[in-house]
Amino acid sequence: VNVTGINAYYIFNHKRFSYPAAFAQSTVQRKSCGSWNAGLSYTLHELEFDYNKLPNELISDKANGRLSNDFRIDQLKYHDFSVSCGYSYNWVFKKNWLLCMSLTPALGYKQTATDVTKIAETTTQKEMPKFDFDNFNVDLIARVGLVWNNTKYFGGMSLIVHNYNYRHNKLTIRNTFGTLNVYLGLNFHKRKAYR
């Protein structure tokens, strides 16, 4: 699976709530605070799949017949355009300590890219993509960050998880990936503190 994308988001309470305090250490948040956020994103998903590695019982089942061509996919590429809205909270539970929790559901529109859905031993899909309400799916972005920062030294960890859902004809794909970071660092300049 290859996922390439770009996203932008807006923090409504940005004067008191700081995402960077939890995920970039460019600021320090001193008091607990939360904020609603909204965002836009675009991702390109490319998936390769070798159905021949499935168990023989799934490929050729005497009771149910052979594996449907809907599942004999070598490669799938699709675009995902999404709008998201969620809530994030920075909890300052002790001096210099911060725990951030963020949950952002997203409404995504998935569109199969033209001429890239390859079905093994059959023709390649070549029709132009068409708008279809069935292509709307609910995705999810979750973020958790724990950081200690005294404005000069900092350390912590963060986890960001993306969940994408794709439905096309009889095929459903749930694509989930996450990034876990553990870090220690030193600031050369005093960090700005959020109230």
Query: Picking from 93-107, 131-145, 149-163, which range would have the lowest pLDDT averaged per residue?
Result: 131-145
* Contact between 106 and 83 (Cβ < 8 Å): yes
Query: Picking from 92-106, 108-122, 156-170, which range would have the lowest pLDDT averaged per residue?
Result: 108-122
Q: Which of 71, 81, 19 is nearest to 49 (CA)?
A: 71
Residue where the block lists tokens 């001193």: 30
Taking residues 61-83, what's their average pLDDT? Answer: 73
* Share of residues in the chain with pLDDT > 90 (%): 38
Assign residue 182 a region (left: φ > 0; alpha: ψ between -120 and 50; beta: otherwise). Answer: beta
In the chain, the largest separation of any two C-alpha atoms, in whole Å, equals 70
| Residue 105 C-beta-side C-alpha neighbours within 13 Å | 3
Q: Where residue 123 falls among pLDDT bands split at 50, 70, 90? A: very low
Cα 72 to Cα 53: distance, rounded to the nearest angstrom: 11
Residue 96 has pLDDT above 50, yes or no: yes
Question: What pTM does this model have?
Answer: 0.74
Cα 75 to Cα 191: distance, rounded to the nearest angstrom: 47
CA 106-112-117 angle, to 5 degrees, is: 140
Task: Render pLDDT for 25-57 as a digit per residue (tens, 0 to 9).
Answer: 888 899 999 999 999 999 888 888 787 787 777
Question: Is 174 strand, coil or helix?
Answer: strand
pLDDT of residue 64: 59
Bridge-based pairing of strands 65-66 and 60-61 is: antiparallel
pLDDT of residue 192: 63
DSSP β-bridge partners for residue 135: none
Cα 35 to Cα 100: distance, rounded to the nearest angstrom: 11
Residue 126 has pLDDT above 50, yes or no: no
